[in-house]
Structures are given as C-alpha cells and as structure tokens.
Amino acid sequence: MSIIDSYVDAGLPSEFILKMMTINAARLLGIENKRGIIKEGLAADIIATQDNPLENIQTLKHVTFVMKDGQVFKHAK
C-alpha cells in the first residue's frame, strides 16, 4: 500500500492530497518561498502523468516525465 492509497482510504479528496504533497510540504519544511508552487522566480521540480491527478489521484504512481532543476531525468517514449 502506498501513501497515496492511505490518503484515499482516509477519504481525502484528490485536490487536498496534491496540496499536501506540494505547497503544504514546502510550508512544513519552511521553503515555501523557494519551492512548492510553479511561479516565476521559484525553483520547480515538475512531473507529468498520463491522467489528470485531480480526476485520478492514482496516476501519481505512474509518472511519465520528471524534471528537476531544469534537467530531465525521466521521459517516457
């Protein structure tokens, strides 16, 4: 069972899970002025999935693209 499954089983909506894994995590770490949202001037690590995670949160288990600090680490063909 993944952490995502635990959140879903607890009844948390997809939007809440995404915020918890991004901006709320950055706030918890005290880096919300550097990371956690996509905004000009902030560092961004970006992932892409096949489906919209707001509609299918389980798609986060199948990441097709990863970019960290402007460098692509994974790209599905």
CA distance linking residue 35 with residue 45, whole number of Å: 8
Better pLDDT: 65 or 44: 65
CA distance linking residue 68 with residue 43, whole number of Å: 9
Better pLDDT: 60 or 43: 60
Long-range contact pairs involving 60-68 (C-beta distance under 8 Å, separation at least 24): 60/4, 61/2, 61/4
pLDDT 10s digits, 19-50: 999 999 999 999 988 888 888 888 878 899 99
Res. 51: pLDDT tops 70? yes
Q: Where is mean pLDDT largest: 33-37, 49-53, 71-75?
A: 49-53
Radius of gyration of the chain (CA): 13
pLDDT 10s digits, 8-20: 999 999 999 999 9
